[in-house]
């Protein structure tokens, strides 16, 4: 297998496969090329329902907050009340309850994570941990997913820098699959799958983008999205609440470095979906390691994005640019 030969790579976390076809970069491109999304340049927007002091869409008013601000989502995807399960074996439905919250990173309407200081990002990391710990004590919660959709291209409904938290009464399928893969490795070897993988990546030094004392960001060997990355801790830790103060600061610095590298790559406010996978609250998760996924859609420039269509929807994900090339390009613009 040569660097330009088509091949497939296995995702260690899910067991899925990704088709890699680097030779396709030579084909002519006549696909979509939309205008780059503009970044808001004002620190306060009187029409923004997330800015301090403003009235939200649901009618409540935000306090004049000066740091990180968390509130229950006015239009949550999950509710505390349970519905009724179906009794039809072919039309299967089960109730799902939970909690949905919004986490405003900053009172400043224009400052995304890439523009925040390490101290400001540390405050966000601390709140993430506090939210996990608080919800873990709720007997009706099984898993806590913290995520951010950045940019209109990724469906963000508001440009104010913020993320979300969805706490569910059952473990979501994607997290459950990752738990199974990691538990199987731990049972076979007595070691953490992602720590073994990180050790291999640090020795190879091909796909690492940036690193701090306690965390590493790299393009995974099995990445499906062109500039996808995964953030891994250097020690066995299962959730954000278990990070110590030094690790919180180290993670904050890495998140700042990584998001700035994304912005520099195509000289734009880089869109992405970012999310934390943490150990389930109510289930055993041997060998599970805390980690974050960054899934950015951009492919060739600030206006050309990757679409998962055709073969990818019907068979398996496919990429043209290799993970090694993606990591090299991100590394070149990281601090």
Name the residue with higher pLDDT: 31 or 330.
330
123 and 131 in contact (C-beta within 8 Å)? Answer: no
- What is the C-alpha to C-alpha distance for residues 288 and 192, in angstroms, rounded to an integer? 7
Name the residue with higher pLDDT: 177 or 151.
177
pLDDT at 83: 86
pLDDT tier, 188 (very low <50, low <70, confident <90, very high otherwise): very high
Residue 28 pLDDT > 50: no
pLDDT at 38: 57
Residue 27 pLDDT > 60: no
Task: Determine the average pLDDT of the residues in 148-171.
Answer: 94
Residue 36 pLDDT > 60: no
> Which residues participate in catalysis according to the annotation?
162
* pTM score of the predicted model: 0.94
| Range with the poorest average pLDDT among 17-26, 41-50, 90-99 | 17-26
Domains annotated for the chain, with CATH where assigned, are: 10-21+37-79+95-333 (3.30.428.10)
pLDDT in tens, 121-140: 999 999 999 999 999 999 99
Beta bridge partner(s), residue 217: 210, 231
Per DSSP (E only), the strands in the chain are: 7-10, 17-20, 69-72, 98-104, 143-150, 162-168, 208-211, 215-218, 229-233, 272-277, 291-295, 318-319
- What is the C-alpha to C-alpha distance for residues 174 and 311, in angstroms, rounded to an integer? 21
Task: Determine the average pLDDT of the residues in 181-190.
Answer: 98
């Amino acid at each position: 297998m040569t660097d330009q030969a088509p091949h497939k790579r296995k995702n260690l976390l899910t067991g899925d496969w990704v088709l890699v076809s680097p030779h396709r970069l030579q084909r002519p491109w006549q696909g979509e090329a939309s205008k780059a999304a503009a970044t808001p340049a004002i620190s306060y927007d009187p029409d923004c329902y997330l800015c301090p002091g403003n009235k939200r869409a649901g009618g409540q008013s935000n306090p004049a907050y000066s740091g990180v601000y968390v509130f229950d989502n006015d239009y949550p995807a999950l509710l505390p009340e349970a519905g009724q399960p179906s009794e039809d074996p072919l039309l299967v439905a089960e109730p799902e309850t939970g909690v949905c919250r919004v986490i405003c990173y900053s009172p400043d309407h224009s400052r995304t994570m890439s523009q925040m200081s390490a101290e400001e990002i540390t405050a966000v990391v601390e709140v993430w941990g506090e939210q996990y710990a608080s919800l873990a004590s709720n007997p009706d919660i099984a898993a806590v997913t913290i995520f951010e959709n950045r940019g209109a291209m990724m469906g963000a409904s508001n440009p104010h820098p913020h993320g979300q938290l969805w706490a569910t009464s059952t473990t979501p399928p994607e997290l459950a699959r990752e738990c199974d893969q990691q538990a199987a490795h731990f049972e076979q070897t007595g070691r953490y799958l992602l720590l073994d993988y990180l050790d291999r990546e640090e020795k190879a030094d091909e796909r690492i983008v940036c690193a701090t004392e306690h965390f590493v960001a790299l393009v995974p060997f099995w990445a499906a999205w062109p500039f996808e990355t995964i953030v891994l801790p250097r020690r066995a830790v299962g959730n954000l609440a278990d990070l110590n103060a030094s690790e919180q600061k180290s993670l904050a610095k890495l998140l700042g470095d990584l998001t700035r590298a994304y912005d520099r790559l195509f000289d734009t406010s880089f869109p992405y979906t970012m999310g934390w996978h943490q150990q389930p609250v109510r289930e055993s998760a041997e060998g599970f390691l805390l980690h974050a996924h960054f899934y950015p859609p951009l492919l060739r420039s600030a206006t050309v994005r990757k679409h998962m269509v055709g073969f990818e929807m019907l068979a398996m994900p496919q990429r043209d640019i290799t993970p090694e090339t993606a990591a090299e390009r991100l590394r070149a613009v990281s601090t």
